[in-house]
Amino acid sequence: MSDVLAVVDHRRGQLRDVSYELISAGAALAEAMDGTLALAVISGNVEQFAATLDREGVDTIYTVDHGEEFNHDVYVQSIEALYDELTPTALLMPNSVNGLDYAPAIAERLGMPLVTDAIDLSYDEILTVTREMYGSKVETTVTVSEEPFAVTVRGSEWAKAEGNGGATIEPFEVSIDESAMRSTVTGFEEVGGGDVDITDADVLVSVGRGIEEEENIELVERLADALGATLSSSRPIVDNGWLPKNRQVGQSGKVVTPEVYIAIGISGAVQHVAGMKGSETIVAINTDPDAPIFDIADYGIIGDLFDVVPALIEEFDE
């Protein structure tokens, strides 16, 4: 029998969706391993979190009541203590920004092989992980022939666990060594406010690095005007300072769900797609037929935006 320990994600008092997805991924893995699934809930309102997380497939929920917010030193020490006690075969963690702040550290400390950003897992004597490479242009499978192992799981790839698990909730005492803590969280700040709210728009014209130069932004502005749409963008456009932060769609920007999303010169990297895949209709204009954006688009033009966009403006300006 081999067991799975999954570490849930929360922030500022809220469990993040990936926590419920981790339960689904962990329960399936535990079943394939003929083992049990335990969750680790570290910091925050652990009792309330544990009660909400008692979903189908969960056997035990260990709570570590230490501090309110995420701190990677607390996580690493807590997971190490839980690991020593439970000796699970699989350690599952979220591939979130905070996950990436502690998962590599705990895997390194425990000497485990680590595979990040899994989009699928299977287990048949050894673990097989499906993950993407080269900006989602290819998918790969990797096998891991050593146990225990650590995996981080991409968000939105597994369904959220539902139902009731009837899990045992066990407070777990960890004496955190404060002298080993090397970082302190001093606050949080919301960024990307301002006059425009792209989450309100029915139609978004969204521009990516394919636009090449700052002076070309004017071209997509004209298209947005002609369509009565709002202009948004992928991250590099904001990184370059060509549009303000409040226009950025994606994991670290805004999540948008317009009726029509027109992606122009955007490749469709996972962190971008995370912010727009809920759009009702997705249109992509891109020179590269292999661009991953076409995998989620409803309509597409494989072509040069500098030819297509002016032609489209003309269509609507007539």
Partner 1 sequence: MKVLVAVKEVATVEEGFELDGTTIDERYLEYDLNEWDDYAIETGVQLAEDDDDIEVVSVSIGPERAEETIRMALAKGVDRAIRVWDDTLAAAELLDVRTKAELFDAVIEAEAPDLVLTGVQAHDDSFGATGVAVAEAAGFGHAAVVNALELDADAGTAHVRRELEGGVEELTDVELPAVLTIQTGINEPRYASLRGIRMAQRKEIDVQTLADLGLDPAVVDSPIELTDMYEPESESNVELFEGDANAAAENLATVLREKGVGAE
Contact with ligand FAD (CB under 6 A) among 66, 72, 154, 235: 235
244 binds ligand FAD (CB under 6 A): no
Which strands form 149-153's sheet, in the order they lie side by side? 114-118, 149-153, 90-94, 4-7, 37-42, 60-64, 168-171
What are residue 40's DSSP bridge partners?
7, 62
| Contact with ligand FAD (CB under 6 A) among 28, 127, 305, 313 | 305
Q: Rounded to an integer, what distance in angstroms lies between the CA atom of residue 192 and that of residue 307?
A: 32
Residues 253-272 that bind ligand FAD (CB under 6 A): 253, 265-267, 269, 271-272
User: Which pair of tokens denotes residue 120?
Assistant: 């699928």
Cβ proximity to partner 1, 27 vs 243, nearer residue: 243
How far is it, in rounded angstroms, from Cα 204 to Cα 313? 15
In terms of CB distance, is 22 or 167 closer to partner 1?
22
- Name residues contacting partner 1, limited to 3-22 (CB under 8 A): 11-12, 16
Instruction: Determine, following the binding rule CB under 8 A, whether residue 244 of this chain makes contact with partner 1.
Output: no
72 scored as a contact of ligand FAD (CB under 6 A): no
Q: Which residue bears the tokens 């425009």?
A: 196
Closest separation between CB of residue 171 and partner 1, Å? 27
Name the minimum Å distance from CB 5 to partner 1: 19
Give Dmax (Cα) for the chain: 72
Q: What is the DSSP letter of 249?
A: B
- What does 210 interact with, of ligand FAD, partner 1, none (CB < 5 to 8 A by kind)? ligand FAD
Instruction: From the list ligand FAD, partner 1, none, pick the one residue 261 interacts with, judged by a Cβ distance below 5 to 8 Å according to partner type.
Output: none
The end-to-end CA distance of the chain, in Å, is 70
| Distances in whole angstroms, Cα of residue 105 to Cα of each of 28, 91, 93, 116 | 25, 13, 12, 13
d(CA 81, CA 128): 27
Site stretch for ligand FAD (CB under 6 A), options 13-21, 44-52, 172-180, 243-251: 243-251
- CB under 5 to 8 A by kind: which of partner 1, ligand FAD, none does 160 bind? none
Nearer to ligand FAD among residue 172 and residue 261 (C-beta) = 261
The residue among 33 and 263 lying less far from ligand FAD, judged by its C-beta, is 263
Contact 110, 75 (CB under 8 A): no
Residue 252 near partner 1 by CB under 8 A: yes
Indicate whether 133 belongs to the interface with partner 1 (CB under 8 A): yes
Q: How far is CA 133 from CA 13, 117, 119, 136, 167, in A?
A: 33, 10, 11, 5, 37
Comparing CB distances to ligand FAD, the nearer of 89 and 232 is 232
**Contact positions toward ligand FAD, by CB under 6 A?**
97, 135, 208-210, 234-236, 248-253, 265-267, 269, 271-272, 275, 285-288, 291, 304-306
